[in-house]
Structure 1
Amino acid sequence: MTMKKLMAMSVALGALMLAGTAQAEIKIGVIAPITGPSAAFGAQIRNGAVQAVEDINKAGGVNGEKLVVSVGDDASDPKQGVSVANKFAGEGVKMVVGDFNSSVSIPVSEALIEAGIIQITPASTAIKFTERGNWNTFRTCGRDDQQGAVAAAYLADKFKGKKIAFIHDKSTYGKGLAEETLKALKAKGGSAAISESLTPGEKDFSALVSKLKQANVDVIYFGGYYTEAGLLIRQMRDQGLQAPLMGGDALADREFAQVGGPGSEGTFMTFSPDARKNPKAKATIDSFKAIKFEPEGYTLYSYAAVQILKQAMEATKSTDGQKLAAHLHQGKPFDTVIGDISYDKKGDITRPDYVMYMWKKGADGSINYAGNEVP
């Protein structure tokens, strides 16, 4: 055999080996705000998915193949999120975990559906995300109308006859959550004493706080994210307004208390039952603590999203997005660190559960919501 033929065979064999390696990997994309105003939640989503992939690979992978995770930063910007989604599609990503912001998840899902990619968001609660009839949209969290109902019930009970202010940050999530909460409150006979909005990125809310003081409000409901909520509560206290603040799941990171300072104590917040209390999650939580990361907020919801995809791939023996989605839509339960999860035909979980928390100062002096559920 000539040297030329030997070289040709060597090149061909190398190509086959590389192809075999590529076929032995399943690509999962994670789209989250790694930078920008919601970076704390981006870290939760990224770390949750990455740890799940690592644990699954240690246990042998999926159907004999290893998972490979790619992380894309959307910086809470819809255009950047779509750009990441298109990049993932070109790279052969089979499924996506993310995003965080509903305003990003919704356009991203449109880009992913064109590429045949299934998407599970751990944190986007906007109703619209699963109400458009798309086959590829799922979540491991609840929806704004569900947590709005819990918030409204609490307001109607504990603040009956009081002046309630409603403020939102104009975002898809914040505005939607405030509107759903107010709608549910009105159904219970309540109303808004004052309704206002603010702009994300602003730092000075003194004029808004003055309006709230003049209206003599007893409680402020805020639809928006932890940065603006923290700044608002800090400036409320600085101007002598002691009314409590109530918000939704986008406050569920310790960054809220760091931004808000001592005044953040006493803030109410709707969020799912703390997944860290699930006995099934102990080993996973220990893995996070080994890397010195507290799996708060949506960390375990992101981990669960990867677990669901794994179980769907094993059941269908496929990585095809539509086959995986069809399996999820059957309503069968998936075993996850946040408990059993099953889906309806829209891609919403069938066990929506929200509870009310209060941020309180612990023995270590830090202000946190963990373990502080209120009746």
Structure 2
Amino acid sequence: MSELSEPALSRALLIGAHSFADPGLEPLPAVSRNLTRLAELLGDPSVWGLAPDHVRMLPEPDRDQALEEVARLADEAEDTLLVYYAGHGFVHELSNELYLGLPRTNPRLLYSALRYQDIRELLLAPQARARRKVVILDCCWSGLALHGAMSSSGLGGMSDISGTFVLTATSETRTALAPPGERYTAFTGELIGALEKGIPQAPPLLTMMTLYQHLYGSLTAKGMPKPQQRNGNTAGAIALARNRYRPPEPPPPPPEGTSTKDEPADDAPAENAAGTAGSSAVRGRRRRLSRRTVVVVSTVLVAALGMLPLMLDSVFGEGARGGSSDGGGSGNSGNSGDTKNKLTVGIGVSVPLSGDLAELGKGIKNSAELAVEKANKDDFVPGVTFKVQALDDKAQPATGQVNATKFVADSDVVGVVGPFNASVANPMQEVFVQAHLPQVSPANSAPELTLGADWLDGPRSRPYDTYFRTVVNDMAQGPAAAGYLHEWDGRRRAFVIDDKQVYGHSLAETFKTAFREEGGRIVGESQVDDDQRAFTEEVKQARAADADVVYFGGSYEGGAALSKQLHAADPGIRVAGGDVLCSSDYISEAGSGAVGDICTVGGVVAERLDSAKPFITDYEKAGYSTPYGPYGGYAYDATWALIRAFKEGVHITGGELPPTARGDLRKAVQAVAFDGVMGRVGFDRYGDAITRRVQVYQVRGGRWSGV
């Protein structure tokens, strides 16, 4: 019987080459997307669950760097080592050996490429501690790797290389395919699909042989090159992934007016996904945003919620989407009726219920109440009645900390939904972490809440094991903009400006990396002061570099000034930036030249998802006076994460909460996984949402519109 390779003792090395100095070698932009998505899936707890530092990506390495990493990880891994390569493959004319292309490879001088034999020797060396090895090659002529010491004929009885499985995209005489316009290469695309969606009628664990058989059948049926494999002894039983496939369960009869249809799976093939219209601009999480900005933007963006945006879907570990489950769909609102002899369990909610952000805060509170009402009505946890205890934090850090102290003092409260503002989350966590009280935010996006203060340039370290969020963090915004600008807007040359602040600098850095991976060029960079409003020099530099887009990491005031000055000089250059640009003030201050400018916002419009339709229907039936807003669906899922985790992780004896209830719930929240109204709900090792979606917006007709 197969068992999953132990994630803590295993490693994965993903090598890819998508751009090449030699003009005769075609760029392979799909390769960079192969690596990114595979890394996400291998790190997803519902697939393999490798820690981030156990998955090494080498998107554009040189020969020595690649071999050093193979040697290092072969020694570091004690259970299983996976080595994956995607790029151009070459055959040596004399030796008939396989060579793997690198960015500076000259096809006429193959010593500039990576010789597969060198990788093989490192994996088979006595000092390699990994007891099981898997090699996956997605390149032309990759079947040549099946010859020699790691082929079936070469294995013989050599025990030192038992447990080696080699999977190749093609035979030794065929070329691999990277169809133009496709998101991934043909072979890796099928592999990613198997990991994302699972394989029907396959066992709970996907062995390498199971994966090979699935890939062979699906690729052959599509007329693609047939994959090949060789394995030594029992290597075919190596399992690197859980089978995500779940047969659809017959749904209960839906209430009149509701829909149980699955969320559409034909999202646009681009790097990142959809969200609410400019919703991040109303979050108030950027402490430098003015009161006027928040008020004006909220009115503009609530109107935009009804749009049907094109989704750029890069779900880092999303898994199966849509549909409803015990905690994912919603039924009619209402209480369970008789609550006598039931244990009352409190779920705190801390959001702004007064002031400029009250409408958004009330939408979060109402959505949490709706989840609790359904759980009680369905008797989801027998013997337990859940109750929402909502407090107004006024979007103020000090008030939030007072609320946290009140929640901790109330022994009935086992978990908290909120807050709305990232600036409020930190002081609350200083209280919660001491009490082991879990908190799930439906709105915070600041990366430092989960990855630590040095997340951008230093080691990432989770500061609070009690903090989780159901919405994507800001790290996804740069890649979303890069994917849209390169693939959909045809931009190839980017000039990047940031204001030296953590938010702006982090957006710029993630954008640069992603834009290069898409195949674009960074033609220039500049750092400015955060209060700079004159961009004469930057405009001159961007034009001299023949940039067709300027990415700005900074405030909307700076972005608007840049847009106005840039478009006065050259209307053809696009301006793009993060969520703080998604403001009506940006449009009015930038002027008519802002048409076509781009911003990105974390999240997804609930109306876009079939899986959210029951929630929307129930919210309307409940008769709330305020809309659920851009974060209602995420608050509903956050509340269900606490409820489901309570059912799975907290054991009640004698009708009382155990003294370890909060700590038990925290552990269960970390492990929770279900299909929610906004997508797959679960958390990575840092507490970040595994479903990560970003919406791209563009200035059209005097407002921000989803693209």
TM-score relative to the length of structure 2 = 0.40
Distance 1:214 1:42 in 2: 44
Equivalent residue for 2:644, pick from 311, 320, 324: 311
Distance 2:438 2:387 in 1: 16
1:248-287 superposed matches below 5 A: 248-249=578-579, 256-257=583-584, 260-261=587-588, 266=596, 267-287=598-618
Q: Higher relative contact order by CA 8 Å / sep ≥ 6: 1 or 2? A: 1
User: 2:346 maps to which residue?
Assistant: 27
Distance 1:182 1:305 in 2: 32
SS of the residue 2:641 aligns to: helix
SS of the residue 1:25 aligns to: strand
User: CA distance change for structure 1 residues 296 and 213 in 2, over 3 Å: closer, same or farther?
Assistant: farther
- CA-to-aligned-CA distance 1:44-87 (integer Å, 9 cap, x gap): 53443344334444545754313122133152x43443233223
User: 2:468 maps to which residue?
Assistant: 138
Structure 2: give runs of 5+ residues left out of the alignment: 1-338, 452-460, 652-656
User: 2:139 maps to which residue?
Assistant: none
**Superposition CA RMSD, Å:** 4.0
User: CA distance change for structure 1 residues 316 and 147 in 2, over 3 Å: closer, same or farther?
Assistant: same
> In structure 2, what residue type is equivalent to 1:31?
S
**Alpha-carbon distance, 1:126 to partner:** 2.8
User: CA distance change for structure 1 residues 154 and 66 in 2, over 3 Å: closer, same or farther?
Assistant: closer
User: 1:351 maps to which residue?
Assistant: 691
- CA-to-aligned-CA distance 1:296-343 (integer Å, 9 cap, x gap): 43221111100111111122345722212222333x522311122122
User: 1:196 maps to which residue?
Assistant: 528
**Alpha-carbon distance, 1:260 to partner:** 4.0
Of 33-42 and 94-103, deviating more is 33-42
SS of the residue 1:352 aligns to: coil
- CA-to-aligned-CA distance 1:184-216 (integer Å, 9 cap, x gap): 4467642654333536xxxxx7x3466765666
Distance 1:99 1:250 in 2: 19
Distance 1:106 1:138 in 2: 12
Query: Is 1:91 equivalent to 2:406 in the alignment?
Result: no
User: 1:6 maps to which residue?
Assistant: none
SS of the residue 1:65 aligns to: strand
Query: Is 1:299 equivalent to 2:619 in the alignment?
Result: no
Structure 1: give runs of 5+ residues left out of the alignment: 1-19, 200-204
Distance 1:22 1:174 in 2: 54
Query: Is 1:72 equivalent to 2:402 in the alignment?
Result: no
Distance 1:87 1:208 in 2: 48
Percent pairwise identity: 26
Distance 2:627 2:557 in 1: 20
Task: Identify, as 1 or 2, the structure richer in helix.
Answer: 1
User: CA distance change for structure 1 residues 190 and 298 in 2, over 3 Å: closer, same or farther?
Assistant: farther
- CA-to-aligned-CA distance 1:155-175 (integer Å, 9 cap, x gap): 55643224343347x4x6555
User: 1:4 maps to which residue?
Assistant: none
User: 1:329 maps to which residue?
Assistant: 670
User: 1:150 maps to which residue?
Assistant: 480
Distance 1:249 1:44 in 2: 20
- CA-to-aligned-CA distance 1:127-174 (integer Å, 9 cap, x gap): 332234432121112233233222234455643224343347x4x655
User: CA distance change for structure 1 residues 53 and 246 in 2, over 3 Å: closer, same or farther?
Assistant: farther
Distance 2:398 2:347 in 1: 21
User: CA distance change for structure 1 residues 45 and 86 in 2, over 3 Å: closer, same or farther?
Assistant: same
Is residue 164–residue 220 contact of structure 1 (8 Å, CA) maintained in 2? yes
**Alpha-carbon distance, 1:21 to partner:** 8.2
User: CA distance change for structure 1 residues 193 and 329 in 2, over 3 Å: closer, same or farther?
Assistant: same
Is residue 247–residue 270 contact of structure 1 (8 Å, CA) maintained in 2? no
**Alpha-carbon distance, 1:359 to partner:** 4.9
Is residue 167–residue 220 contact of structure 1 (8 Å, CA) maintained in 2? no
> In structure 2, what residue type is equivalent to 1:106?
N
For the pair shown, the structure with the greater C-alpha radius of gyration is 2
SS of the residue 2:493 aligns to: coil
- CA-to-aligned-CA distance 1:265-320 (integer Å, 9 cap, x gap): 64332434433322221122134445364444322111110011111112234572
Equivalent residue for 1:161, pick from 486, 493, 497: 493
**Alpha-carbon distance, 1:120 to partner:** 1.0
Distance 1:353 1:309 in 2: 22
> In structure 2, what residue type is equivalent to 1:285?
I
Number of matched residues? 332
